[in-house]
Amino acid sequence: MSVAGAWRAHHFGVSVPDLDAALDWYGRMLGFTLERRHYMAAIPAEIAFMQCGDFRIELFEVPGAAPLPADRREPNLDLKTHGNKHLCLEVEDVPATVVRLKAAGADIAFEVTVNGQPVAFVRDCAGNLIEFLQPFAPASAYPENGSET
């Protein structure tokens, strides 16, 4: 058991410039449905929780918020800034998922294979990064020093 005790993932928070556009995007592209929406005067912000299975996305629309910097829209450049990086979703078949997302108009940041593992990054309607990967192979299947192929 961890110091924090037992836990499970509940949600990932994302700031967006247009809450209605984000509600549409996360619903259409990833199958999330609106769980609740409210205004929080203390921030101030319009907030929405969207749910897919047991996981939620919390979306914030804050008037006057700074736009997402260009380097935060690029997976490898984003790593050069401390902080949260991206939401990662596991799918059975990354290439097939990318084909469906492209057909629906998703902004694909890149596709790459790392140690035989297909990985893709897409941008939501506000440029926030979302990674897709397949279930990991056993650790013994990975070379000592990982590299892109």
Report pLDDT digits (tens) over 34-85: 999 999 999 999 999 999 999 999 999 999 999 999 999 999 999 999 999 9
The C-alpha torsion from 34 through 38 and 40 to 45, rounded to 10°, is: 60
Q: What's the length of the chain? A: 149
Checking phi first, is residue 3 left (phi over 0); if not, alpha (psi -120 to 50) or beta? Answer: alpha
Output the CA torsion sign for 100, 19, 83, 2: negative
Is the backbone peptide bond immediately before 44 cis, with ω within 30 degrees of 0?
Answer: yes
pLDDT tens digits for range 76-111: 999 999 999 999 999 999 999 999 999 999 999 999
